[in-house]
Structures are given as C-alpha cells and as structure tokens.
Structure 1
Amino acid sequence: MPIDAAKALAAEPRTGEITWTAKDVQLYHLGIGAGANPDQDSPATDPDELRYTLESRLHVLPSFATVAGAGAPAVISGLSLPGIEVDLAKVLHGGQSLHIHRPLPAEGTATATGRIAAVHDKGKAAVLVLRTEVADAEGPLWTGDSQIFLRGEGGWGGDRGPSARLEPPAGEPDRTVERPIRPDQALLYRLSGDRNPLHADPEFAKLAGFDRPILHGLCTYGITLKAVVDTLLGGDVTRVRSYSTRFAGVVYPGETLRIRMWRTDGQVRAEVSAVQRDDAPVLADTVVQHS
C-alpha cells in the first residue's frame, strides 16, 4: 500500500526558511482578481482596490499565507514524506484552514515547519492533514492545515476522522455578490507558486478526470475571503482571525462565482457556487472568524 499511516505520522517535521516581498503579495492579489472594478461601465480602477495592488498602501489578505514562500509547492512536497507515495493525478485538495496569529507583513522572512498531523481512511480515499506552522523573529504568524484527498488510497481500516460538514446557514444571506473568473485566471494565479499541471495542461486535466484545466481551489479560497473582507469587514484585513472551507466542487476559468454570506457575532458563513452550472457547489462549510 502506498500509504503507511504510522510511518507518515512518525516522520520528523520539515523545517525551512521562507521569504516574500511586496511584489509577491501584489502578484497573489492580482491572481485572485484584485484591481477589477465592479462597475463594468467604468474603465478606471476602483480606488479601494489599491490597498491590494499599490505598494505604498499595501495590505496583505490573510489567505496569502497559502502561497507565501511558495507555500503551495510545500504542500505538494508533503506528499513525498516518509510513508507516502502517491500519483499526483489522484490528488485533490479537500479543504483548507488558516489561523492567523497576527497580521501578515508585506515583506518578511520566516521559518515554516511542516508535518503530517493526521491520516484518515475514508474508504475509497485517504485524507492527509498537512500542517504548516510559520513564525518569524517576533513570534508565530499563522498555522495552516491542508486536507488532501488521495483517491483510491483508502480502505486499510484506519480511523475515518471527524466530519468537516456543518449545518447549513439559516435564513436568507445578508449579502450576495458575484465574481467573474477570467479565462486566464489559473495561468495568472499559478505564478504565485502552484504549478500543478492540472490547472494549465488540458492533457493532464483529462488524465485526472476533467474535461479541461480547472481553477486552483486556493484561488477560489482567496477570492472568497477577499469578498468577505471587502463587503462585510470594511476592507480591514487585520480583522480576520481564522478562515476555513471545504472544497465541494470545481471551478472552470471563465465562469462566475456566486458568493452568499451570512453574518453573526464574530463570524461570517459563506457558500460559493458556479453561476453557469445552475449554482453547482464550489466552496461549502466556509467560516471566517473575525474581530
């Protein structure tokens, strides 16, 4: 069997230095749609978008943590840890969570420590929880958990693990917004580090079971957090304390996302769907905890 759960959990954590610059932050923000003007009749940049794109007033959206120092390839490298040997074409990102310990700086150098925090047996698939803890000279910055589905690798009788599913939000959403995805969105987003050919190469996408390349789940993740921050948190990125989601379906470049948001004390729930496919689910069980 390609997965030896005991060996994977016992493996020594991998530690390395990561760095990022304001240019990396700007590129990430552009990759998730920053700079667009919601007023389609105006060619001018929305002034509020300059907090994501102009270096003199740059704020860092917390989801940047998923790519800081090429964080996405670090997730892929986690699949080569002791006890794990898998086919990349069978890998799907099942969920992502971030806990933000303090606001992310626009430029930084930090130490990232990655390990396998859990291995779950879902029957037809295995799920790895890859945990990355990042700290700089001033202390912890963020902790991220990536839930990685490995199709065809379950069934050894291991623990199924907890369910990530939540009760659906009650009532009508407080806000609903739509965000168009550019046809070249995946090609732009991958420049932040996730070069998985699933998001660019039609032949590889077919091998993975898709008609054409799909958008990175973490790109949708960033687009959704930005929508929450911009519409319900007054554009203040520093208010985000944690952010989690389950990837419920794919997005194809060129589609439009419909983002529904429900607000309660200290929390925003969100559900994301693809407009052109009859609101097919994209992100579910999405929670932003905030101050």
Structure 2
Amino acid sequence: MSSATLDQERLRTWPFRDVRVTYTEKDTILYALSIGLGADPTDAAQLPYVYERDLIAFPTMLTTLGMYQDDQFITDPGVGIDLSQMLHTEMALTIHRPFPATGEVHSRISIDRLIDRGEGRGAILDFSRQMRSASGELIATESGSFFLRGNGGFGGSNGERPRLPAVPDRPADRTAEIDTSRSAALLFRLIGDRNPIHVDPEVARRGGFPAPILHGGCTFGVAVHGVVRSLLNYQTERLRHVGARFSAPVLPGDTLMIEVWDHGDGRAAFRASVPAREMVVVDNGVVVLDQ
C-alpha cells in the first residue's frame, strides 16, 4: 500500500462518538489471564484477579474498555492505514477513581496529533480517550501513539512530540519475571483487538516479523503486572498513573524481566526486557502512586 493512500482529512474529521460498554466477570478474568495473572494458582495475591469470589479488576483492563468498540478509524479502508505496518508505540493510563470488577463504562476517543515523518519514514498518530461511569464521573484517561510505518509522505505536518523520561542509569531496586503464554495473543484478541498481525503468521511475515506478535496493550498489561508484583505486592488500589514506550515487539511465549526503580516519593520508573533475546521491549516507564 502506498503511503500516499492515507486520507488525513478523513482521519482528522472522523465522527467519534460516546461508546457504552458493559463488562462482566468473564471479561475481567479473561483480561487478567491474558497478562499472566493466575499463572501460579497457589499465589493468594493473584487469586482475586482471576476468581469471581471477591473479584478485582486489574487497572490496565481500562485500556481495553471501549477502545475496540470505536476503532473503525483505524480499520476503515477509506482512511488507508496499513494495518500490517502499524505498531503501538506508547501507552499511558491515569486512574482518577476506583472502578468495579463488573459494570459499565462510557468511552470517547479523540485524535490529538498526526505527524507525517515523510515518504518511507512513516507517520505517528497520537490519541487520547476518556472513560466515565454511567453517572458521568471520570474514571480514567488513556493516551497512546501508533507508528504507521507504511503511511508517511501524505503531505501532513511534521512536529515535535513530548518524550518520556529515561530510566535511571543504575541497577534496578526491584525486579520481577513474568512468563507470557504462547496463546497470550489468542486470548487477548478476544477482548476486541482483531488485527490479524497478532494471529495470522502470513500477515506477521508481511509486517517483517517471524511470527504473530503480542498486542501492545497486552505487553503493557504484562509489564504493569510485573511492576505491581514487585512494587505493590498486587495491592493495585494505590496505582494512579502508569505510562511507557514500546521499544520492540514481544512474541507470545517470551519471558519478560521487569526492572523497577523506586524513587521513594510515590514515583517509580520501569522497563521490561526479554533476556533470551537480549532485547528491551518496554522502556521509559513511569509510575505514580498514592502516598
């Protein structure tokens, strides 16, 4: 697909709408399983995220609620995004109030920035999303970026973007290893992201990958899983903000090593790597906690 096929005007003027999403115990448990919770069925700290008795929703589940019900601006052929060349590159979540393990969320997406890096260099699409309760209270705000590798050179503006801070140049204070399942992408896609690059080997090869890759949203959840294991012992009610940059794809079955630097003031930094491939996959991670 030629990069000139991206219709920036259609993308900029896309008629976003409020999306109402109802989620059940099954949805909450499926999300938790997809990011590695419950892998040790004897770990009492993980059990509340995968067992309907006293069920708790893992916070990053919010990034899935409503996103995939209103993502037609990505898949619409008239917009012209080359899905085989699209990568999720940044993600952040700010939690404004607790949310229940089952319930209803109202979501609305907006496009914040579209940067044309030039022919052969791709484009960057920044978006944000607000999630509210049925009564209108703001629950969370998500922001993120997609790198449209096959869509540069459409004549759009080129500009600067804010950058996440680097992690400290010293050994981490805490670490956690999280194994991803070989079927993690197959589980996560049932939540709503049906991009075939995560399931179809031929589509993945066309995108330059040896096999279907893990969703960015799932990778983010796994990394935050490691953060809350090492920093909070799964007590996620203190988590207020988390954000990171994706630096390399994760393959289902990879083991992630999550390193955490605790600044001691309710803030922390993190990154995740795949030691078997000597590759950093999540970088520039930031965490803000309730004191």
TM-score under structure 2 length normalisation: 0.89
Tell me whether 1:64 sits opposite 2:67 in the alignment.
no
Matched-pair contact (CA < 8 Å) for 2:167–2:270: no
**C-alpha offsets along residues 172-204 of structure 1, whole Å, 9 cap, x if unaligned?**
101112112222222122222222211111111
- After superposition, the CA RMSD in angstroms is 2.0
Matched-pair contact (CA < 8 Å) for 1:181–1:255: yes
Q: Which amino acid letter does the alignment assign opposite residue 74 of structure 1?
A: D
Matched-pair contact (CA < 8 Å) for 2:177–2:226: no
In structure 2, the residue matched to 1:46 is 43
Change over 3 Å in CA distance of 1:199–1:81 after alignment to 2: closer
| CA distance in structure 2 between the partners assigned to 1:19 and 1:52 by the alignment | 18
| CA distance in structure 2 between the partners assigned to 1:218 and 1:63 by the alignment | 9
TM-score under structure 1 length normalisation: 0.89
SS at match of 2:241: strand
1:142 to 140, 143, 152: 140
Tell me whether 1:109 sits opposite 2:107 in the alignment.
no
Change over 3 Å in CA distance of 1:8–1:201 after alignment to 2: closer
Change over 3 Å in CA distance of 1:192–1:97 after alignment to 2: same
Return the offset for 1:258. 1.0
Matched-pair contact (CA < 8 Å) for 1:11–1:81: no
Equivalent positions of 1:28-177 (< 5 A) are: 28-37=31-40, 45-69=42-66, 71-72=67-68, 74-75=70-71, 77-79=72-74, 84-123=79-118, 124-136=121-133, 137-155=135-153, 156=155, 158-177=157-176
SS at match of 1:170: coil
Matched-pair contact (CA < 8 Å) for 1:59–1:106: yes
In structure 1, the residue matched to 2:182 is 183
Change over 3 Å in CA distance of 1:186–1:17 after alignment to 2: same
Structure 1: state its 5+ residue gaps.
Answer: 38-43
**C-alpha offsets along residues 193-236 of structure 1, whole Å, 9 cap, x if unaligned?**
22221111111111111111111121111111122112212322
SS at match of 1:283: strand
Pick which of 27-36 and 135-144 moved more: 135-144
Matched-pair contact (CA < 8 Å) for 1:50–1:57: no
Change over 3 Å in CA distance of 1:208–1:82 after alignment to 2: closer
Tell me whether 1:203 sits opposite 2:198 in the alignment.
no
In structure 2, the residue matched to 1:27 is 30
Change over 3 Å in CA distance of 1:190–1:12 after alignment to 2: closer
Matched-pair contact (CA < 8 Å) for 1:59–1:237: no
Change over 3 Å in CA distance of 1:254–1:7 after alignment to 2: closer
| CA distance in structure 2 between the partners assigned to 1:103 and 1:63 by the alignment | 12
In structure 2, the residue matched to 1:225 is 224
* Paired positions, count: 282
SS at match of 2:130: strand
Identical columns (%): 36
In structure 1, the residue matched to 2:273 is 273
Change over 3 Å in CA distance of 1:185–1:80 after alignment to 2: closer
Q: Which amino acid letter does the alignment assign opposite residue 103 of structure 1?
A: P
SS at match of 1:186: helix
